[in-house]
Structure 1
Amino acid sequence: MDIIKKLHSQHNGILGYRRMTLFVNRKLETNYNKKRIRRLMHILGLRSIIRRAKGYCTKTSFVNVEDNILNRNFTATAPNQKWCTDVTFLKYGFSCKAYLSAIKDLYDGSIVAYVVGQFNDNELVLETLRKAQKANPNATPLIHSDRGSQYTSKDYYRLTTQYQMTRSMSRVGKCIDNAPIESFFGHFKTECYDLKKYKTFEELVSDIDAYIYFYNHQRFQERNNGLAPLEMRNKAVA
């Protein structure tokens, strides 16, 4: 039971019984089942933070609109086949605004690139795309987004064309069409952002950096057979 209490405290209460099982088995090199860990967590009075769904959607339509080629097929057979991208709104200080732009690979769930900015403009999205391409110079994925103004802009069209990426866009008002990246933002807010109040932009960025490192390297996932996203990715390219 001590290891469960330690992991619960170490990870700020974000581990539900499923992920707690993965962490305990990795830590102790055991094979406990989920029912046993759930029972022990119940005895200890430990519960994970419950993430509440929020129905925010972007309903903007501009000139360079693409079809929904992804069509909710959120699986991939190799890294860099399919990426999802979006921007989420954050706050710090006295009503100051910040924005997190991220790209997620649908093969392993890893965040291949992200940028934090104080303006929700085209450059925020373009810089995220540049970072993703620099980290994966030979990648020519299908990249899925909503129809926000950054993604329907000519600058985005030109850069994705230059990188030989295939654009796909959600239907108007259908947030579920981009569910994987929305899921990541939900986990980030529940497991990190919502746990404290940020006084400065630098403090916010520091925690985002730490969380995405944790998410990519240490957040073991059932969908990856108990591997963290980058473990799954590295195994595929080995």
Structure 2
Amino acid sequence: MIDIVKTFGFVPGRRTFCALFTRMHFNINGQPVGEKKVTRLMQELNLFPNLRHKDAYKGQATYNHPYYNVNDYVKRYFRQDPRKVILTDITYISYNGNKNISYLCVFKDAFTNEILGWHISKRMDVTLVERAYCMMMDLHEKEIEKACKYMKENGKKPYVYIHSDNGSQYLSTEFREILEDDGFIQSVSRRGNSLDNAPMESFFWKNEIYSK
């Protein structure tokens, strides 16, 4: 549900959640998710339906301005070489009987499966992403530079992709400028295509980070 909120940029109502779960073939213990179950989950996660919020860019919805038009350069070709495709995503961790939620942002090397940087926060905003990114750069900047140098020495155009879904945090002007200044190429999954960032999303599931 948190991923749906992140993608849409607002909290849908219970009927919209149900329709999306049906479209995604999502179920719990083999059973379809009904409106009563969705209502209970929304209460546990403190999610309240609201209209999609506007941003300062010509009053358009967050995911509907020119900065949303980022290409999917990776095209599911994840395992290219170390430090060439870096995946990132945000998930939530619930605790205290699902009464409290924190958000986790992770940057992961798609080739080595190594976690390069991460950060946990009470707020799912661009600062969460930036701090996880800063950890990655503090720990692995020289390795990334070395990978680019190796490509250049072998007659290839240096590149490193930072690949994410189309959450507003990743499409923010602030974060995109950071990537551009550091020489990264931003790649974004197509809307409604979770497989475009499957290795990152599956990491959360395999490690049971999503609460049940």
Scaled by the length of structure 2, what TM-score is found? 0.60
1:110 aligns with 2:129: no
Greater than 6 Å deviation, 4+ residue runs: none
Equivalence for 1:41: none
Q: Which amino acid aligns with 1:144?
A: H
Distance 1:129 1:165, change over 3 A: same
Q: Deviations over 1:63-111 (max 9, x none)?
A: 322101011111122x211101000022112511111100110111111
Question: Unpaired runs of 5+ in structure 1?
Answer: 1-53, 196-238
Equivalence for 2:204: 185
Q: Deviations over 1:156-210 (max 9, x none)?
A: 1111112111100011111110001101111121xx6659xxxxxxxxxxxxxxx
Percent identity of the aligned residues? 27
Equivalence for 1:87: 90
Q: Looking at CA atoms only, which structure, 1 or 2, has the larger radius of gyration?
A: 1
Distance 1:188 1:127, change over 3 A: same
Equivalence for 1:176: 195
**Cα distance in structure 2, aligned partners of 1:55 and 1:149:** 13
Equivalence for 1:128: 132
Equivalence for 1:150: 169
Equivalence for 1:97: 101
Equivalence for 2:20: none
Question: Unpaired runs of 5+ in structure 2?
Answer: 10-62, 145-158
Q: Deviations over 1:114-143 (max 9, x none)?
A: 111111011000111111111122326201
Distance 1:193 1:87, change over 3 A: closer
Distance 1:55 1:129, change over 3 A: closer
How many residues are aligned here? 139
Whether contact under 8 Å (1:126, 1:156) holds in the other structure is yes
Equivalence for 1:74: 78
Q: Which amino acid aligns with 1:149?
A: S
- Alignment partner of 2:135: what SS? helix
Shift of 1:55: 11
CA RMSD of aligned residues (A): 2.2
Whether contact under 8 Å (2:189, 2:196) holds in the other structure is yes
